């Protein structure tokens, strides 16, 4: 079988993949002259961009498996690929550690008033700012109990927090004190000091957090969004922040990116923003190729893909 990796990756990773899968011929972008010809020859393609994935709907050739270099599939033409008999797998999980670290940095920084002290340092002001809050003993609601949620839960438990998980199914997951189904969202929100959104973008999760959800959160709640911008009604979030319905927000993703310079979030003291960098890590390619390796081995030995196989009906 033949795998085409549509980007340049290190020789070390290529060698590791090839040694682990001697039955496969593996080529990457830097080793081919005609990419279109390679797409026609390959049995599987690891696609680094939505543009390549869209091309696969008309130039798939013998391809039966496409792996996305990203975790989300909101820009993947799932229906068209499925109609061409192509199974899609994703890189879900590769962001678990860096995004969990970003989530925790936002929550801890907010709790210990780091953003305020940074502003005071800039203005050369020595002010205590009523510092008395701790993470210990607080409750966090993690919306999404996959790799990001699980890595975040580990860090929260280490700080003595009560960890609630919310997922589509509500099935038990190790590391959480309690797990709830999405239908119980408002009951959970009423208990949380921190609300973390790492939900994927699907038809069902578009605008998941809106006026109703912010309205039942505690006045001291800090909302974190590291999932997808469109899972949050930003007008409702802005309204909740302006009215003091919730205390603050840590935002890495937005409905429109880059965030327009005129947006009120830029100047709000109760908002901490990062420019969609929560998942950035120097280990990214290595972790993607670990998933590729698992699926190549599974396909060789069992004839099936086993990791991060997308359910077209669910949209993730």
- Domains of the chain by start residue, with CATH: 2-94+283-302 (3.40.50.720), 96-273 (3.40.50.720)
- Tens-digit pLDDT profile for residues 236-279: 999 999 999 999 999 999 999 999 999 999 999 999 999 999 99
Work out the percent of the chain whose per-residue pLDDT is above 90: 91
- Check residue 71 and report its DSSP letter: S
- Exposure b/e, 37-57, CB count within 10 A at least 16 = b: ebbeebbbbbbbeeebbbbbe
Catalytic residue among 67, 95, 155, 228: 228
- Tens-digit pLDDT profile for residues 72-122: 998 899 999 999 999 999 999 999 999 999 999 999 999 999 999 999 999
Catalytic residue among 23, 83, 212, 257: 257
Q: Which helix (H) or strand (E) holds 27?
A: strand 25-28
- Pairwise CA distance, residues 138 & 14, whole Å: 45
CB contact at 8 A, 272 and 109: yes
Per-residue model confidence (pLDDT) at position 312: 94
Handedness of CA 108, 110, 111, 117 (dihedral sign): positive
Q: Is 174 a catalytic residue?
A: no
pLDDT at 159 over 90: yes
Burial of 301 (0-12, 13-18, 19+ CB in 10 A): exposed
Helix axes 147-158, 96-111, angle to 10 degrees: 40
- Check residue 209 and report its DSSP letter: B
Q: Is 263 a catalytic residue?
A: no
Q: Is 228 a catalytic residue?
A: yes
Per-residue model confidence (pLDDT) at position 88: 97
Catalytic residue among 16, 263, 276, 287: 276
């Amino acid at each position: 079988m033949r795998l085409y990796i549509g980007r340049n990756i290190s020789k070390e990773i290529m060698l590791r993949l090839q040694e682990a899968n001697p039955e496969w011929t593996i080529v990457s972008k830097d080793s081919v002259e005609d990419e279109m010809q390679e797409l026609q020859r390959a049995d599987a393609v690891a696609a680094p961009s939505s543009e390549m994935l869209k091309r696969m709907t008309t130039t798939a050739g013998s391809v039966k498996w496409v792996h996305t270099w990203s975790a989300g599939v909101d820009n993947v033409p799932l229906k068209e690929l499925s109609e061409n008999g192509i199974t899609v797998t994703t890189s879900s999980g590769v962001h678990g550690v860096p995004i969990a670290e970003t989530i925790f940095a936002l929550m801890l920084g907010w709790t210990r008033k780091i953003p305020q002290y940074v502003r005071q340092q800039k203005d050369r002001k020595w002010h205590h700012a009523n510092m008395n809050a701790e993470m210990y003993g607080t409750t966090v609601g993690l919306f999404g109990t996959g790799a990001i949620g699980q890595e975040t839960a580990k860090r929260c438990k280490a700080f003595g927090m009560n960890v609630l998980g919310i997922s589509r199914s509500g099935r038990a997951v190790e590391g959480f004190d309690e797990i709830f189904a999405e239908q119980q969202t408002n009951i959970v929100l009423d208990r949380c000091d921190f609300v973390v959104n790492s939900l994927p973008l699907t038809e069902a999760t578009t605008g998941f957090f809106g006026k109703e959800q912010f309205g039942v959160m505690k006045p001291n709640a800090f909302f974190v969004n590291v999932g997808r911008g469109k899972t949050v009604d930003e007008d409702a979030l802005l309204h909740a922040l302006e009215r003091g319905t919730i205390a603050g927000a840590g935002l890495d993703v937005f409905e429109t990116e880059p965030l327009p310079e005129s947006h009120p979030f830029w100047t709000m003291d109760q908002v901490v923003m990062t420019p969609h960098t929560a998942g950035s890590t120097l280990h990214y390619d290595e972790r993607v190729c670990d998933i590729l390796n698992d699926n190549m081995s599974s396909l060789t030995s069992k004839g099936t893909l086993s990791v991060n196989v997308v359910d077209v009906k669910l949209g993730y």
